[in-house]
Structure 1
Amino acid sequence: MSENGAVSKKWRLYQWLAVDTLGSIQQGNCIEINKDNIYQQLFAAGLQPVSIRMKQRLRRQFWKNQERVAFVRQLATLLQAGLPLMNSLTLLGNEHTKAAWNCVLLNIAKGVCEGKPLSEMLGQYPDTFPDIYRQIISIGELTGQLDKCCLQLAIQQEQQAELRNKVKKALRYPLIVSAIATIVTLLMLTLVLPEFAKIYASFDAKLPWFTQMLINTSETLITTGPWIAGALLLGCFGYLQKMHPHTRWKLREQKLLLWLPLTSRLVTDSCLGQIFQTLAMTQQAGMTLIAGLAASSASVSNLHFQVALNQIREQIMQGIPLHKAFVQSPLFPTLCHQLIKIGEESGSLDELLQKLAHLHNHKANSLADTLSQTIEPVLMAVMGIIVGGLVIAMYLPIFQLGSVMG
């Protein structure tokens, strides 16, 4: 439940067909929880329903971040051009290519036309618009700078999305290469090496220990491999279904990422960049520090940083200065404490928070760009050693046989 009391609902996209008072056929799309609400809306509009068909279940994953950001940026552009808010929302809703987004934006425009604040209408769709959208837009409505707040929000979300994509790409590359190396190794052990073993059996000679060890491994994989693979798949499925959704297991997974040498700096800098960027934006928008910390906690995906920010928020509520609250958490480097202290004493906290965000975003981007270049030679070397070792093991008896015959 969001702060405005909106509950995450199980929306569905429906397509309806109805007859108006003149006997003409009317059709359209609508998002609702069930068909009964659509019947009521059609009757209230003087339409006689003919058919209502569900087209799609709108889960949280349906609402893509790039579409959210595009809407906020376009809204900022239209407002800066002087178009009224209701007209801007109606225009964006009518022009959207996806029926679900079309319905949501037109519903929001209808609510604004009835006198409801835009932030309140966004709060009715918590799966579509995260809470930070409602908070920032609410500040824009109070200060009369809705266009600037929308533009600032769009820029911040774009930067965070770009950084997240870079981090995911940098972490995905080693996993893909490792998976390919594992598949190649298994194929050679289960398909290629057994054919060589049949040839070696005709030599009636003792095989080199390395070759014999790999042949034994190959025989073990062929006989017990399906059972091992089945057990691993069953274990992974059980873990993802039963254990992974629980917070304590997510904490362990994310703690491992913060502990591993190759990922710790990348994950830490990306989280710090998101936190300070959100804090800086909320301070510039005029939000309270407590609300800004809550928004920062919601914007970061790592649970350890969420816990740390919630603890800092509680200390701020008790009257402890921000820089002293940050000192209590080992996740935040000393430079963060020092710059925040300077910002509090000089009255330029938002500027120094922005500098911290820029610093950690730059470090995370640099690490993401160089991580794949750094790991690639190591992974290639490991793959070369594995594949080369298998090839040597397969041909070593032939080499020895040649030397004996010579």
Structure 2
Amino acid sequence: NAVDKHGPVVLAVLAVLVAGIVYALRLPQVRTAIGDALWRVPAIGERLKIYQLARFYRTIGMLLRGGMPLVAALDMGAELLHPMLRARLAAASRAISEGRNVSQSMDANGLTTPVALRMLAVGEKGGNMGEMLEQIAAFHDEELARWVDWFTRLFEPVLMALIGLAIGVIVVLMYMPIFELAGNLR
């Protein structure tokens, strides 16, 4: 009865709610706030950092292999990073300009993982930074693919349970009027 009486109002409220969400997601400040919130979630924030570092390493590696100087390549690749990481990169770039090691400067500013740190050090000593940065990016891409696979395997049963619960609720709601009608016949 409630759906019959208030159906158009409920439908209008749902339409306004969906339109409001779509409009809000188009606003840059809302997208930034959602992105910042995701960065604070422990597992997701770490994966976002690794994803951005992989893109950054790949870009810097290609620029270095193309003959661009390191500091110029770092400045060019900075736009790929989240503002928090961009500030760290600026500090690392200053340290590199002052003559410090690339691997130590990046590590001191939180721009490496343990594996990336070792590979950067090898690239510095061997003189093949571009190739090593691309290998770091490939390693991180594989790590992210494994994590996504693990997450989907974990989330799939939860999603199935939620879908089953939703279908069960719908079936119960469909049979409720029939049970009420049968109860009134007695």
The answer on 1:344 being equivalent to 2:124 is yes
The answer on 1:364 being equivalent to 2:150 is no
Mapped to 1, the partners of 2:181 and 2:157 lie a distance apart of 35
The answer on 1:226 being equivalent to 2:34 is no
Change (3 A) 1:328 1:352: same
Mapped to 2, the partners of 1:225 and 1:262 lie a distance apart of 37
The answer on 1:377 being equivalent to 2:157 is yes
Counterpart of 1:289 in structure 2 is 70
More contact order relative to length (CA 8 Å, sep ≥ 6): 2
The answer on 1:319 being equivalent to 2:99 is yes
Mapped to 1, the partners of 2:150 and 2:2 lie a distance apart of 37
Matches within 5 A, 1:198-217: none
Change (3 A) 1:320 1:382: same
Counterpart of 1:255 in structure 2 is 36
Mapped to 1, the partners of 2:81 and 2:90 lie a distance apart of 13
CA deviation after TM superposition for structure 1 residue 359, in Å? 0.5
SS at structure 2 position matched to 1:287: coil
SS at structure 1 position matched to 2:103: helix
Change (3 A) 1:278 1:391: same
Q: Which has the higher strand share?
A: 1
Change (3 A) 1:194 1:230: closer
Mapped to 1, the partners of 2:104 and 2:114 lie a distance apart of 11
Mapped to 2, the partners of 1:278 and 1:403 lie a distance apart of 71
> Larger C-alpha radius of gyration, 1 or 2?
1
CA deviation after TM superposition for structure 1 residue 278, in Å? 1.6
CA deviation after TM superposition for structure 1 residue 403, in Å? 7.9
Mapped to 1, the partners of 2:23 and 2:31 lie a distance apart of 16
Q: Aligned AA for 1:357?
A: A
Counterpart of 2:61 in structure 1 is 280
8 Å contact from structure 1 (residues 272, 357) kept in 2: yes
Unaligned runs of 5+ residues in structure 2 are none
Counterpart of 1:128 in structure 2 is none
How well do the aligned residues superpose, as a CA RMSD in angstroms?
3.7
CA deviation digits over 1:78-122, x for unaligned, max 9?
xxxxxxxxxxxxxxxxxxxxxxxxxxxxxxxxxxxxxxxxxxxxx
Mapped to 2, the partners of 1:381 and 1:301 lie a distance apart of 37
Relative to the length of structure 2, the TM-score reads 0.72
8 Å contact from structure 1 (residues 280, 353) kept in 2: yes
CA deviation after TM superposition for structure 1 residue 277, in Å? 1.4
Q: Aligned AA for 2:142?
A: H
Q: Aligned AA for 2:77?
A: S
8 Å contact from structure 2 (residues 58, 137) kept in 1: yes
SS at structure 1 position matched to 2:100: coil
SS at structure 2 position matched to 1:286: coil
Counterpart of 1:240 in structure 2 is 26
Matches within 5 A, 1:78-89: none
CA deviation after TM superposition for structure 1 residue 258, in Å? 2.9
Mapped to 2, the partners of 1:265 and 1:238 lie a distance apart of 26
CA deviation after TM superposition for structure 1 residue 311, in Å? 3.2
CA deviation after TM superposition for structure 1 residue 345, in Å? 3.8
Mapped to 2, the partners of 1:330 and 1:251 lie a distance apart of 22
CA deviation digits over 1:13-49, x for unaligned, max 9?
xxxxxxxxxxxxxxxxxxxxxxxxxxxxxxxxxxxxx
CA deviation digits over 1:322-373, x for unaligned, max 9?
2232223345323323332343344443343232112012123344456545
Relative to the length of structure 1, the TM-score reads 0.38
Instruction: Percent identity, please.
Output: 21
CA deviation after TM superposition for structure 1 residue 297, in Å? 2.0
8 Å contact from structure 1 (residues 251, 304) kept in 2: no
Q: Which has the higher helix share?
A: 2
Mapped to 2, the partners of 1:261 and 1:376 lie a distance apart of 21
Change (3 A) 1:341 1:193: farther
CA deviation digits over 1:160-201, x for unaligned, max 9?
xxxxxxxxxxxxxxxxxxxxxxxxxxxxxxxx9836xx9xxx
